Amino acid sequence: MSKAAEQEKLLFKLFVAGEEPNSVIAKKKLYELCDEIPEEEREILIIDVYQDYSVALEEGIVITPTLIASRSDKQDRMVFFGNLQKSNQIEYYMKKGRKKL
């Protein structure tokens, strides 16, 4: 792995509503998908809007669960809505994103 790779990661921000059913499903699915990515290449942030929704407002999030996937350099930002059960696009993004790292 190059030095640049150590600095750049795939960043996943998941906005959830407490332990509501879709939020729980989405969290579980995200961790499953990320299992295939080495820890040093990704970072997961779970943001509970019940606790603090200001970040959601800042990011223009209107529903939960919503996942914002991007590189750490804020390039190639992608937003996914719903409980992430349809994961094809996310997996595609992860592959593509990792190639770019």
Partner 1 sequence: MKMTDPEYKNLKAQLASSEAIISALKKNEVDAVIGERSVSVVRLKEVEEELMKAKQLAEDQAAKLRESEARFRALADGTPVSIWVTDKEGKLCFVNKACAEYFRLKADSLGSVTSEDFIHPDDKDQFIESWKNVFTKKEPCVLTARLKRADGLYCWIESRLQPRFSENCEFLGFAGSSIDVTEKKLAQEALQKEQGNLRQLLDKQTEDLRRKKAQLAAAVDASGGGIYEHSVPIGPELFVSRRYAEILGYAPEEMPHWKEYKNWIQEHVHPDDKEQLLSSYNKFISGETESYEVELRFKHKRGEWIYVQSFSKALERDTDGRVTHLVGIMQDITKRKEMEQQILNAQKMEAVGQLSGGIAHDFNNMLQIITGYSAKLARQLPEGSDLQTEVKHIKNAARSAAYLTKQLLAFSRKQILRNQVISLNKTLKRIVSMLTHSLREDVQIHAELLASPDRVKVDPVQIEQVFMNMAVNAQKAMPHGGNLVFRTEKVELEEDHPDKKDSVPKGDYIMVSVSDTGCGMDSDTLEKIFDPFFTTRSGGQGTGLGLSSAYGIVRQSGGIIRCYSQPGEGTTFKIYLPVTEGKAKKNQKHEEVLYPIITGKSVLIVEDNIHARQFTAEELEELDYTVYQAGTLSQAEEIFEENTIDLVISDIVLPGEDGVEVYKSLTEKKPELAFLFMTGYDLDQSLKEHELIERENLLSKPFTTEELAQYVYNALSEKYEQKEEGVLSQKTGKKVLLIDDDQVAAEGLSFLLEDEGFMVERARTGKEALKKAVEFTPNFVVTDIKLPDINGYTLAEKLKQSLPGVKIIGCSGFQEDDERSQAFDKFFIKPIDLKEFQKVFSKDI
Q: Which is nearer to partner 1, 24 or 44 (CB)?
A: 24
10, 11, 14, 16: which one contacts partner 1 (CB under 8 A)? 16
Cβ 77 to partner 1, closest distance in Å? 10
Task: Provide the residue type at 55 as one letter.
Answer: V
C-alpha span between 46 and 70 (Å, rounded): 14
If 0-12 CB within 10 Å is exposed, 13-18 middle and 19+ buried, where does residue 42 land? buried
Confirm or reject binding of residue 5 to partner 1 (CB under 8 A): no
Q: Which is nearer to partner 1, 45 or 62 (CB)?
A: 62
